[in-house]
């Protein structure tokens, strides 16, 4: 099998900066555009809390509510 491999300097969350992500945290799930990453924090804009994902194959969440601030 042949594969195309792209070597980049970014990996992990750094590679996802600027994209919409779903963060599965200890108590809640959050979704939003990942704007910044440090050793201890992430910054999301256009943030929602996801109370129920629905089917994982769905492109939308069953119950996601916008937060009034960015986190």
C-alpha distance from residue 57 to each of 1, 4, 25, 41 (Å): 28, 26, 20, 28
Q: CA 37, CA 71: separation in Å to the nearest integer? A: 12
CATH fit for domain 12-66, picks 2.50.20, 2.30.30, 1.10.3470, 3.40.1130: 2.30.30
Q: In the predicted model, is pLDDT for residue 60 greater than 90? A: yes
Q: Where are the domains of the chain?
A: 12-66
Q: CA 71, CA 64: separation in Å to the nearest integer? A: 15
User: For the whole model, what pTM was predicted?
Assistant: 0.78
The pLDDT tens digits for 14-50 are 889 999 999 999 999 999 999 999 989 999 999 999 9
pLDDT given at position 10: 73
């Amino acid at each position: 099998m042949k594969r195309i491999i792209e070597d980049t300097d970014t990996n992990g969350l750094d590679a996802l900066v600027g994209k919409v992500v779903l963060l599965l945290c200890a108590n809640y799930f959050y979704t939003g555009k990942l704007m910044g990453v440090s050793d201890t924090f992430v910054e999301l804009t256009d943030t929602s809390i996801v109370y129920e994902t629905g089917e994982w194959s769905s492109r939308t969440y069953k119950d996601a509510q916008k937060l009034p601030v960015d986190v």
